[in-house]
Amino acid sequence: MMRRRSRILQPELNPNAMTVLERRYLKRDTDGKILEQPADMFKRVADTIAAADLKFDNAADTSAISDQFYTMMASLEFLPNSPTLMNAGRELGQLSACFVLPVGDSMEEIFDAVKHTALIHKSGGGTGFSFSRLRPANDVVKSTTGVSSGPLSFMKVFDMATETIKQGGTRRGANMAILRVDHPDIMDFITCKADMTQLNNFNISVGITEIFMEAVKRGETYNLVNPRNGKTMGTLNASEVFEKIVTQAWENGEPGIVFLDRLNRDNPTPHIGAIESTNPCGEQPLLPYESCNLGSINLGKMVRDGKIDWDHLKHTVHLGVHFLDNVVEVNRYPLPEIARMTLGNRKIGLGVMGWADMLIQLQIPYDTEEAIELAGNVMQFINDEAHAASRKLAMQRGPFPNFAGSVFEKRGEVPIRNATVTTIAPTGTLSIIANASSGVEPLFAVSYTRQVMDDDILVEVHPIFEKIAKAQGFYSHELMAQIAVTGRVRDNFGIPEDVQGVFATAHDISPEMHIRMQAAFQKHTDNAVSKTVNFSKTATADDVAKVYDLAWQLGCKGVTIYRDGSRDKQVLTTGSAPDEAKPTEEHTEKAMQRPKRKRPKILKGRTHQIQTGCGPIYITINEDQEGLFELFTTMGKAGGCAASQNEAIGRMVSLAWRSGIEARNVITQLKGISCHSPAGFGENKVLSCADAVAKAIEEHMAANGYGEVPQRHTLVRGACPDCGGRMLHEGGCSVCKVCGYSDCG
């Protein structure tokens, strides 16, 4: 009979962590009542994962193994990816976050992929695709004597399918789309998210080849290849294509770039297939139908008395590899093809979070040569020990089934249990649970505000900064609130210079140092490194180009950039002049000086019905002899916050019109505002009640001869749709640091 050891350790979780767990992770009954506490969740996961040991040793003491797994998680020293925490020991049992699906060049293959995507998203996973196999737009389709609509049209089908699928209220679908740079439709792909109104369930990346980068370097052309027959369809100037990628990324952060040849250079099983795509955040290259299970060590917990505890780090690495290999074993895969491919290669991805926290405890500024050197040393240690742990498991359990013919066998290496062992993921939500800095990113803020119930505003302060501030005598609530305005302490507030240096935030770090840090970790990581290179709002496209070139030179496998403010403002499509898009200060001042129009007793107008995520809204627009005069809204369900907010919108729109503000400027301010409950699809999609009001004004103007109205635009990733908190861009994704909501699930 197996021994049951008591679990004494209780997880120490801050309010943010509890909020995230209660909203997304803890088990509930059919009425939504929470049935477990965090300790119960960790116990559920530990017991389920430890049980896999019995498959290899029927006398295994799974109680002891479970206790080790529990302690590792409850102490917040290691956490697996979100689906494992959510689903281990529960009916669904799907534990992987990362999947890649093939998209073939026939209608049957394309819609099989759509169906498989739905099943994966339903189970809580995210999907990556390469659309590079699809023939280009307007290419011949012999079976119908017609022409192809091209990859972009089918990407929209996947996007709509993702929009439709609900994931039980725990995770939402996210996709990665990659197109090779030599695909004939590459220029359309680069700009497919230019106005940020479509493909919002996709991250997009251009698959860059070494041939292309060499052509950029030499200012030469390169060939475009039709994937249907392998024939050249023309050429493009590589420098011009590169410039277009850079410009588009500068404008809104997409597309990212992925160095495809480098992904395949490190492909451990080329005899099984070629790597075409990655998971949604780009850190996990996978073969078609392959999945991967990730987990992260909290480096902030690996420091003792101002020094790295290498022995404890080694112990955690070995235990983490053991844990993740067990996950592969007990996982319930959503498709038999995925089960076969995943069990054949047994890829795992052990990574890190809390890197910035480790540096702070060691009193090493993030943007220094010392930090870059330490990054390489720490990750080399983790990678070496992780491989040693996997080889030890191979001696006990056997190597991964596809080991024969792998690069390991060809190099004459000792058999290994897992084809890949290390990955660095963004850890957005997990880092909130662990109260740690995300992945290998710098701090996003030293102090920030958080709104709680009854509209109370709390100031959250980095615990180590708060401790230092109190110890050195410069702590005050007023100072912490002042820091929270920008989140930064460098060059501010009279804080000691050595403290300022150590507490670097993302925008204190130069883009070049971001890339150098990424490269330092990448050198010792099997898969890839998820990291965002932050740029200031004033950065130029040339600055982005330099970073892309540096990433290529330093051996990175991909790059994701974000320029401050590029997605938080309204992004306009072509068709509107700048002064139409945003009224100038002079224009607004003159408008406000005009006398306000008085309301006649009788006005003509019409009522527009628009379906929103909160139900139907009826929008009445009235005119006087001068034009649009007033707007009223009525919700299908009377009363409540939504109705009062809409009444406020109507009053403000009416006041604006009577004061001389043009209708097109009202549309510019309202259209594209999004909430947690959109409705409809494509061009008919209504993002919020405010968006519905803007649409009604557009319809009214179009039907009543007001001429051209502003083109579609949107407010992108400003506030969290769940709690209204600030969304942070990291690792190719957007994450709310208050409640844990993530665009990537």
C-alpha 537: how far from its chain's center? 21
* Mean pLDDT calculated for residue range 432-453: 85
* Per-residue pLDDT, 737: 66
Query: What is the DSSP pairing of strand 447-451 with strand 457-461?
Result: antiparallel
Res. 471: pLDDT tops 90: yes
* Per-residue pLDDT, 732: 64
HSE-up of residue 422 (Cα within 13 Å, Cβ side): 27
* Per-residue pLDDT, 11: 95
Q: Are 742 and 725 in contact (CB under 8 A)?
A: no
CA–CA distances in Å: residue 183 to residues 65, 206, 230: 50, 10, 10
CA–CA distances in Å: residue 49 to residues 137, 329, 615, 662: 47, 9, 44, 62
* Per-residue pLDDT, 457: 63
What the block records as the tokens of 122 is 């339903």
* Owning domain of residue 271: 98-163+172-278
- 3 state SS for 495-508: CCHHHHHHCCEHHH
CA–CA distances in Å: residue 645 to residues 563, 619, 688: 32, 13, 11
* Mean pLDDT calculated for residue range 292-302: 97
**Among 19-28, 202-211, 454-463, 648-657, the range of highest mean pLDDT:** 202-211
Catalytic positions, written as ranges: 279, 281, 283
Query: Same domain for 374 and 390?
Result: yes
- Greater pLDDT, 377 or 740: 377
User: Where does the pLDDT of residue 643 fall: very low under 50, low under 70, confident under 90, or very high at 90 and above?
Assistant: confident
* Per-residue pLDDT, 709: 53
Q: How many CB atoms lie within 10 A of CB 681?
A: 13
Would you say residue 1 lies in a domain? Answer: no
SS3 222: strand
In the sheet where 627-635 sits, what is the strand order? Answer: 604-612, 615-624, 627-635
User: Where does the pLDDT of residue 125 fall: very low under 50, low under 70, confident under 90, or very high at 90 and above?
Assistant: confident
Return the bridge partners of 264, or none.
Answer: none
Q: Are 205 and 282 in contact (CB under 8 A)?
A: yes
Query: Same domain for 450 and 518?
Result: yes
CA–CA distances in Å: residue 617 to residues 220, 607, 697: 56, 10, 13
Q: Whose CA is closest to 348, among 389, 288, 311?
A: 389
Q: Whose CA is closest to 677, among 641, 624, 728, 729?
A: 641
* Mean pLDDT calculated for residue range 418-430: 95
CA atoms of 630 and 623, how far apart (whole Å): 7
Query: 542: exposed, middle or buried (C-beta count within 10 Å: 0-12, 13-18, 19+)?
Result: exposed
Would you say residue 283 lies in a domain? Answer: no
Query: Same domain for 394 and 298?
Result: yes
Query: Which of these ranges, 34-38, 551-555, 647-651, has the smallest mean pLDDT?
Result: 647-651
**Among 309-323, 593-607, 710-724, the range of highest mean pLDDT:** 309-323
Query: Same domain for 102 and 87?
Result: no
Q: How many CB atoms lie within 10 A of CB 61?
A: 14
Res. 1: pLDDT tops 50: no
Res. 682: pLDDT tops 70: no
Query: What is the DSSP pairing of strand 126-130 with strand 175-180?
Result: parallel
* Per-residue pLDDT, 668: 78
User: Where does the pLDDT of residue 568 fall: very low under 50, low under 70, confident under 90, or very high at 90 and above?
Assistant: low
Q: What is the largest CA-CA distance in the chain?
A: 91
Compute the C-alpha angle 23/27/32, nearest 5°. Answer: 65
**Among 351-365, 652-666, 723-737, the range of highest mean pLDDT:** 351-365
Return the bridge partners of 610, or none.
Answer: 617
Query: Same domain for 103 and 158?
Result: yes
CA atoms of 316 and 70, how far apart (whole Å): 12
Query: Same domain for 141 and 261?
Result: yes
User: Where does the pLDDT of residue 85 fall: very low under 50, low under 70, confident under 90, or very high at 90 and above?
Assistant: very high
Query: Which of these ranges, 295-304, 427-436, 451-460, has the smallest mean pLDDT?
Result: 451-460
Question: Above pLDDT 90, what percent of the chain?
Answer: 63
CA atoms of 466 and 447, how far apart (whole Å): 9
Would you say residue 608 lies in a domain? Answer: yes
* Mean pLDDT calculated for residue range 164-174: 61
| Residue range 500-538, pLDDT digits in tens | 999 999 989 999 999 999 999 999 999 999 999 999 989
* Per-residue pLDDT, 454: 44
* Per-residue pLDDT, 702: 83
Would you say residue 722 lies in a domain? Answer: no
What the block records as the tokens of 744 is 């990537």
CA atoms of 738 and 742, how far apart (whole Å): 11
Query: Same domain for 488 and 562?
Result: yes
* Per-residue pLDDT, 172: 63
The enclosing domain of 154 has a CATH number of 3.20.70.20
Give every CB contact of residue 336 below 8 A, 6+ residues apart in sequence: none
Last residue of a domain, one of 249, 278, 307: 278
Last residue of a domain, one of 383, 404, 429: 429
Strand spans (E) along 496-595: 532-535, 558-563, 570-572
CA atoms of 305 and 496, how far apart (whole Å): 22
| Residue range 487-506, pLDDT digits in tens | 899 977 679 999 999 999 99
Q: Whose CA is closest to 672, among 651, 690, 645, 657?
A: 690
Would you say residue 659 lies in a domain? Answer: yes
Q: Are 456 and 495 in contact (CB under 8 A)?
A: no
Return the bridge partners of 529, or none.
Answer: 424
Q: Are 9 and 36 in contact (CB under 8 A)?
A: no
| Residue range 684-706, pLDDT digits in tens | 778 888 889 999 998 888 888 77
Q: Which letter does DSSP use for residue 23 in this model?
A: I
User: Where does the pLDDT of residue 434 fall: very low under 50, low under 70, confident under 90, or very high at 90 and above?
Assistant: very high
Query: Which of these ranges, 210-219, 394-403, 675-684, has the smallest mean pLDDT?
Result: 675-684
* Per-residue pLDDT, 596: 64
User: Where does the pLDDT of residue 375 fall: very low under 50, low under 70, confident under 90, or very high at 90 and above?
Assistant: very high
| Residue range 597-631, pLDDT digits in tens | 778 878 888 898 888 877 888 899 998 888 899 99
Query: What is the DSSP pairing of strand 532-535 with strand 570-572?
Result: unpaired
* Per-residue pLDDT, 720: 67
- Greater pLDDT, 576 or 728: 728
* Per-residue pLDDT, 722: 64
The number of folded domains in the chain is: 4
Q: Whose CA is closest to 421, among 378, 397, 446, 385?
A: 385
* Per-residue pLDDT, 88: 97
Query: Mean pLDDT for the chain?
Result: 87
* Per-residue pLDDT, 481: 86
Give every CB contact of residue 644 below 8 A, 6+ residues apart in sequence: none
What is the secondary structure of 179-193 as a DSSP string? EETTSTTHHHHHTTT
Residue with tokens 């494509």: 682
CA atoms of 571 and 173, how far apart (whole Å): 24
C-alpha 303: how far from its chain's center? 29
Determine the residue type at 348.
I
Would you say residue 112 lies in a domain? Answer: yes
Res. 391: pLDDT tops 60: yes
Is this structure's pTM higher than 0.85? no
Query: Same domain for 535 and 577?
Result: no
CA–CA distances in Å: residue 82 to residues 162, 357, 388, 530: 19, 21, 26, 16
Q: How many CB atoms lie within 10 A of CB 166?
A: 10
| Residue range 340-372, pLDDT digits in tens | 999 999 999 999 999 999 999 999 999 999 999
Query: Which of these ranges, 100-109, 338-347, 399-408, 704-713, has the smallest mean pLDDT?
Result: 704-713
Q: Whose CA is closest to 330, among 526, 124, 56?
A: 56
Query: Same domain for 256 and 121?
Result: yes
Would you say residue 6 lies in a domain? Answer: no
Query: Same domain for 485 and 533?
Result: yes
* Per-residue pLDDT, 286: 98
Helix orientation angle between 369-397 and 310-330, rounded to the nearest 10 degrees: 50
Q: Whose CA is closest to 386, among 460, 325, 318?
A: 318
Would you say residue 667 lies in a domain? Answer: yes
What the block records as the tokens of 395 is 């001696």
Last residue of a domain, one of 429, 447, 467: 429
SS3 616: strand
Q: How many CB atoms lie within 10 A of CB 142?
A: 7
Query: Same domain for 411 and 455?
Result: no
* Per-residue pLDDT, 593: 42
Query: Same domain for 120 and 187?
Result: yes
